[in-house]
A = this chain, B = another copy of it.
């Protein structure tokens, strides 16, 4: 059995309460006493038993970040930022991953592991508004991610409408006219792709370009394979697209691969743009033009807002927070309109 408060108290000849106060500093402790206690702590090598502390305090010091998939580097980068932020604030961050499975998302939102965590940052994909609204768990929660719920929770997400418009403007400025969107989803009202899709159609309208339903491709997942399949479908069209706006970078990368397999060149024949700015896109061939959300800030903000709620700081009513983003132009959709076939120009 490890060294306990009691051991220290005995050794230092004081009460447990005093030791506790030396450790936590809730009440002032006399200088001489403090020194004696500290010495005992050092000698015996005491570390507080967290389970006991948590039992007593009713909090665990653990918060969870639930993400759909670890394999998407976007989430890996987001998680890294959140872990940093939590650690700085003295919390431990537990990564829960839901596998893009609705039941698991429900389970997590509804208090699975609630006993172990003080709060939850949830990046849901499949949850419905009712799922969120009907949540019974009392555990503080902050929402992250593209799906919209209009639910009474803080929500951290970039301005997807503006981001999509900017991506589209870039493509349109390049002279592209048949721009496809890969990564739409079936769910009508709160799908992750909702705002990005709206940005897509609005940008088309603003540029006076027709909206062709054939150019909007639905995918089941969010990975490279989905992007490749979506692109292959587009390539069967009588009039294939001359540009692709992908829901995210992984889909964009998959689309590029499918174009390559089909003997088409990016960006000469087709321009491609994604969203996320994962590192992979800085080294891919071609490198990927993308919208880069401030992932560090997203993670940080989500943690902060959650801790505000947990620690009962005045935080006002639930609100939406929009970290910045910026357009990063790379080879897959460069600023200069592609002249002819000529590749292997490099610019990292």
Binding site for B on A (CB under 8 A): 47-52, 54-55, 60, 62, 69-71, 73, 76-77, 79-80, 83, 92, 94-95, 97, 111, 113-116, 223-225, 228, 253-254, 256-257, 260-261, 263, 279-280, 282-285, 344, 346, 348
Q: B344–A261 contact, CB under 8 A?
A: yes
Question: Given A47-B114, A261-B346, are A228 and B54 neighbors across the interface (CB < 8 Å)?
Answer: no
Give A225's nearest chain B residue, CB to CB.
Answer: B283
Q: Please name all residues of chain B whose beta carbon is closer than 8 Å to the beta carbon of A344 when the two chains form the complex.
A: 260-261, 263
Q: Which of A69, A114, A261 has the most CB of B within 10 A?
A: A261
How many copies of this chain are found per oligomer? Answer: 2
Contact between B70 and A79, CB atoms less than 8 A apart: yes
> Shortest beta-carbon distance, A179 to chain B, in Å?
22
Measured CB to CB, the closest approach of chain B to A8, in angstroms, equals 15
Residues of B within 8 A of A224 (CB): 279-280, 282-283
Residues of B within 8 A of A79 (CB): 70, 95
**Contacts A48-B115, A83-B97 given; does A71 touch B73 at CB 8 Å:** yes
By beta carbon, the residue of chain B nearest A45 is B136
| Contact between B253 and A283, CB atoms less than 8 A apart | yes
| A255: min CB distance to chain B, Å | 10
Distance from A69 Cβ to chain B, minimum over Cβ atoms (Å) = 8
Interface centre among A51, A76, A97, A346 (most CB of B within 10 A): A51
Cα distance A15–B201 in the bound complex, in angstroms: 64
Which B-chain residue is minimally distant from A1 (CB atoms)?
B58
CB of A5 to closest CB in B, whole Å: 13
Partner of A76, one of B73, B116, B228, B263: B73
Q: Are A115 and B284 in contact (CB under 8 A)?
A: no
Q: Min CB distance, A139 to chain B, in Å?
A: 11
Q: Which residue of B lies closest to A111 (CB)?
A: B47
The answer to whether A115 and B49 touch across the interface, beta carbons within 8 angstroms, is yes
Q: Do A257 and B279 contact each other (CB < 8 Å), given the known contacts A52-B55, A60-B51, A115-B47?
A: no
A243: shortest Cβ distance to chain B, in Å?
A: 19
| Cα-based distance from A95 to B47 in the complex (angstroms) | 21
Instruction: List 12 additional contacts besides A71-B73, A257-B284; criterion CB under 8 Å.
Output: A47-B114, A50-B115, A70-B83, A80-B97, A94-B94, A224-B279, A228-B283, A254-B283, A260-B285, A260-B344, A261-B344, A263-B344
Name the contact of A256 in the complex, choosing from B47, B114, B279, B285 (C-beta under 8 A). Answer: B285
B73 touching A92 by the CB < 8 A rule? no
